[in-house]
Amino acid sequence: MRRGACPSLARPMQTGDGLLVRLRPAADGLTPAELKALAGAAVAHGSGILEITARGNLQIRGLTASSVPKLAAAIGEAGIAIAEGLAIETPPLAGFDPNEILDPRPLARALRSAISRERPALTLAPKLSIIVDGGGRLHLQDVAADLRLDAVNREDGLCWLLSIGGTARSARPVALLKPERVVPAAMTTLVELSTLGAAARGRDLNVGRIRARCPFDGTLPAIAHGASPLPPAGIHDFGHSGLVLGLGLAFAQTDAANLTAFVQRAEELGATEIRLAPRHGLLVMGFSSEAAVVAQSVAHSHGFLVSCDDPRNHIATCAGKGACASALMDTKAAARLLVEVGPALLDGSLVVHLSGCGKGCAKPTASPLTLVGAPSGHALVVNGTASVAPSAYRGENEIRSALARLNALVQENKDAGESARSCLTRLGTARIAAAFEQG
């Protein structure tokens, strides 16, 4: 599989620990029985390691050419429908969250239907994505997409803002549209992308050209942004709609045994539905307030992140050495070490990115601190992505002392009330690099 393609049941991706498939359930969520079936299939036909990606997709690792068809059969026998084709994403609690401007799912379905009817069929990039965001407390404003449709409340009624190529903050606005004009305008944009070729992405579109072809219904609004979306981990109270127990997967992974044990107990406590969520999350629905507290404790005992102040929330890791053929660092081991020796760095003000190689799959955007696997050991990038020139190097066996020294640098120089991010920004790249190399 070439870089830029998406692994699926039909086209699994070769990795360092076998084949990997990525699944998007077609339904809003999974029943406990369905999630247990997926976990059972993962251990029966793969390594038993499951991941939830930063965009909320499920990955199953350690498969072989002969076991992928068996996995597909097991998923079918469990009655789990898997979404295929172009990724059209809605917030994980769409249709449930009383804080959303409106339910985005009908628009997402209408758009998917229009795409399926288009003739000739559109030729689009494998990783091209569309976000239809109705807002709410777990919105997708910070998730990038090639094409965005964000709900906007106006005095004259609801509209959708069509924009291209980024997050809600960075995407380029095209048109503000009344509901009946949204699907035609989105299709115009997708047809334009299709004419640019199978590798074209939202960033390649000419905004003026699209705007001229999309009759719009109002002046483009000033860019407005809601509060940051809630982290998955925690008990979230949605008033009359009910409670949601949010869990995070530590370093984006869990194993079938722990997942099955938790889901079994959660079902006994009243869980009715489990939704996958961006930022490597699971959202468990159906609990009473008392049951949610018990389930949270059970989840913690099985290694899940259960609160937003868990320092593991603030580390982004790829699969790492052993799981990825490109990786030169055991990112999971480095993450555990960082939790042990670097608590001052993990105060929630920044994300430390641990990348097995220069591709930076776990976090394509820049981080204040990025540790990259290198042939000679570990490279440190300050305020950049994994692909840029590093600021410092340390040997393979010196990572503990290097991380401890970065931690000490913050502890010794942070002013009262100052965050780790602000402290590092004030100290500058040269001092950070020196501490890393001298640790």
pLDDT band of 325, cuts 50, 70, 90: confident
Q: Is the dihedral of CA 78, 82, 61, 278 positive or negative?
A: negative
Give the C-alpha distances (Å, rounded to integers) separating 357 from 211, 252, 307, 378: 40, 17, 30, 10
What is the secondary structure of 65-96 as a DSSP string?
Answer: TTHHHHHHHHHHHTT--B--SSEEE--TTTTT
Main-chain phi, psi angles of 301, to 5 degrees:
-65, -20
CATH class label, 314-438: alpha beta
pTM listed for this prediction: 0.91
How far is CA 330 from its chain centroid? Answer: 21
What residue ranges of the chain are covered by domains with CATH 3.30.413.10? 101-134+141-213, 314-438
Q: pLDDT tens, 56-113? A: 999 999 999 999 999 999 999 999 999 988 999 999 999 999 999 999 999 999 999 9
Half-sphere exposure for 399 (CA within 13 Å, toward CB): 23
Q: In whole angstroms, what is the distance from residue 83 CA to residue 24 CA?
A: 5
CATH topology of domain 101-134+141-213: Sulfite Reductase Hemoprotein; domain 1 (3.30.413)
290: left (phi over 0), alpha (psi -120 to 50) or beta: alpha
The DSSP code for 357 is S
What residue ranges of the chain are covered by domains with CATH 3.90.480.10? 13-85+231-308
Q: In whole angstroms, what is the distance from residue 67 CA to residue 26 CA?
A: 22
How far is CA 295 from its chain centroid? Answer: 24
Element containing residue 162 per DSSP (H, E): strand 157-166
Alpha-helix residue ranges (DSSP H) falling in 139-229: 179-196, 207-213
In this structure, CATH architecture of domain 13-85+231-308:
Alpha-Beta Complex (3.90)
Q: pLDDT tens, 247-304? A: 999 999 999 999 999 999 999 999 999 999 999 999 999 999 999 999 999 999 999 9
Q: In whole angstroms, what is the distance from residue 4 CA to residue 64 CA?
A: 21
Q: pLDDT tens, 8-55? A: 898 999 998 999 999 999 999 999 999 999 999 999 999 999 999 999
